[in-house]
Chains A and B, each alone.
Chain A
Amino acid sequence: MTTSRTAARLSRILSMIPWLIANEGATVDEVCSRFGYTEGNLVRDINTVMVCGLPGYGPGDLMYAYIDGDEVGVEMADYFANAPRPTAAEALTMLASALTVAGSGLGNPALDSAIEKLSAALLPETESGIDIDTGAQPEFVGPLTKAASSHHTATIVHTGLADGVRKERVVEPWSVFSSLGNWYMTGWCRLAEGERVFRIDRINSVVVNDETFDPPETTPEPEVHYTPSEDDVHATIDLKPGARWVLDYYPVDVIEEYATKTRIRFAASEPGVAARLLLRLGSNATLVEGTEVREAVEELGRAILTRYGA
């Protein structure tokens, strides 16, 4: 996460030098693939290193860096024998990424042992200084990820969040991702004939088929997004301070912020999604606009009161 180009370039040089010191006779190819260099950029950086060193800056003071045929080397640079310690940002990102994947049930023994070594190197004396729980549902995350990487279609039974309707669908899984504590699969749904995002914990069963599919060249960014369409149901809702958490959990537009309320615009494919949210919020939210949603709130609300005999 180094932000400037200069710092990024310097960081790579200071990481490469220790490795070259420890690995005599390294080849150009090896160094390029290990440190992500093109040959031209490696030559440029080696030429930079060879004119640097300690005060005096004579032949005995400068580092001895060379590319000789296929071989790369740096000598007389003992003060750079260790790579710079990762910054707090780099350490956190690295550990958090590794723990996220390990926690998803998709890690492997190599990742586990890497996490152990990293924790020892980056977190002296604070072994549980970081704790990641991605709320994994490994039961279907695993098979769907495998189907996505081998381009096999899957037959899933999924229950809609809004209407509670259970449907069998054949999908072409593109990717699996975790966001806001839930796991999702994105892909092409043959039943809907469109791109869809499914919450994996709303999936009741998964069968990976023998049939394969051609994945699109570029898949959409893995994020929970709601793509507005013309058939959408809209609602304008005022949230009291006690209901502001909605902004963190639903993709909504904030229209206006007042001292005592926040006015949002909510779009969904079904009025039921907004209605259930409004019921949940009770008097902490007021529906300002949205006829279909108002009808759905009435219907669901009356049904609940009937059940309670109220």
Chain B
Amino acid sequence: MRNVIERLLNLLAFLLTVERPVDADEIRRTVAGYADKTDDAFHRMFERDKKQLKELGVPLELRYIDVWEIDQGYVVDPDQYGIADPELTDEERAALALAANVVRVGGQPAGPEALFKLGGLAWQGGGAPLGADLGGDIEGAVELFDAIRSRRRIRFTYHGSKRRLDPYTIARRRGHWYLLGRTDGEIKVFRVDRISGIVAGEEGAFERPTDFDPSIELDLHPWEGGPDPEQTATVRFDPEVAWWAARILKEPHEPGETLETTMRVGHRDAFVGFITSFGPDAEVVAPPELRDMVIDRVRGALGE
């Protein structure tokens, strides 16, 4: 492995200093580590090396060497490659290291490489008694996050249909990643794990509104936003479950008392599901058609 590391360091040093696109032949002749290889061996080796650099985050690009746009060569833009030292204090790096240690990504804690790039670790503690899991769908989130950062318009498949979107924000709610963006003048929300076949376009393809607030779309209760005409329901929760309903609905509540309140309903199906899960300890007082929907739901479950 020592030879590989040496060759990659030499290759990167060359690309960062050469200040013009260079083709594979020139790299082969110039950079230490590629000499004395057959054509085939060189090409295999060079392909692997390019892959390693990209995995590391090195912005290795192909550009035309000449004004006639015939031959292409490799370029690494030093400004794109490096990150200016964010000048984190020891306390800040310790706080980040702790956060990286307690949050798992698909069951695994994140590696330390990102922190090394930001000036190294400042915390050597063991496991903290706090954990959070960012879920297994992080892979898709990464691709979308990259598109958001570089403002690339994307195309993808969602529930079998083709979509295109200016991606604005990636958000995490209730254990899932969501993508928010604009399409045909409207803000839309997508669940990341149901998105497939992402194709990203050119960098800087759209302007992102500076006052965009994702929580307006995301922080509704499931029964609030939805396909149905908006209506208000009056609901009663018995004392044994009232504290729990009050917590979910963020209503004031005295222990041991019944909670009677109104709920905004834009998604009747979700509303009926929510109320029914309280069993006989909750009741829709009005309107009658929502009461009937609860009765139908229960009859459905009883097979009637």
Contact = CB atoms under 8 A, between A and B. Distances in A.
Contacts of B107: 221, 223
A12 B170 contact: no
B32 A110 contact: no
B57 A87 contact: yes
B82 A83 contact: yes
Interface in A289-310: 297-298, 300-308, 310
Interface residues of B, number: 119
A276 B277 CA distance: 5
A43 interface: no
A19 interface: yes
Interface in A53-108: 53-55, 57, 79-94, 96-98, 100-102, 104, 106-108
Contact of B121 (A34, A82, A88, A126): A34
A1 B131 contact: no
Interface string A263-305: 0000000000000111111111110000000000110111111
Contact of B171 (A2, A12, A22, A131): A131
A79 to B, nearest CB: 4
Interface string B45-79: 00000001001111100000000000000000010
Given A3-B55, A301-B298, A308-B295, A49 B9 contact: yes
Contacts of B93: 114
A93 B99 contact: no
Given A129-B148, A297-B302, A55 B9 contact: no
B contact face: mostly helix, strand, loop, or mixed? helix
Interface stretch (B36-44, B208-216, B225-233, B258-266): B208-216
A46 interface: no
A221 B106 CA distance: 12
A19 B277 CA distance: 57
Interface of A: 1-16, 18-19, 22, 33-36, 44, 48-49, 51-55, 57, 79-94, 96-98, 100-102, 104, 106-108, 110-111, 113-114, 117-118, 120-126, 128-135, 145, 148-149, 159, 164, 173-182, 201-202, 204, 219, 221-223, 248, 276-286, 297-298, 300-308, 310
Interface of B: 1-2, 4-6, 8-10, 12-14, 16-17, 30-32, 52, 55-59, 78, 80-89, 91-96, 98-100, 102-105, 107, 110-122, 124, 127-134, 138, 141-143, 145-146, 148-149, 151, 168-176, 208, 212-215, 218-219, 240-241, 243-244, 247, 272-274, 276-277, 279-281, 283, 291, 294-303
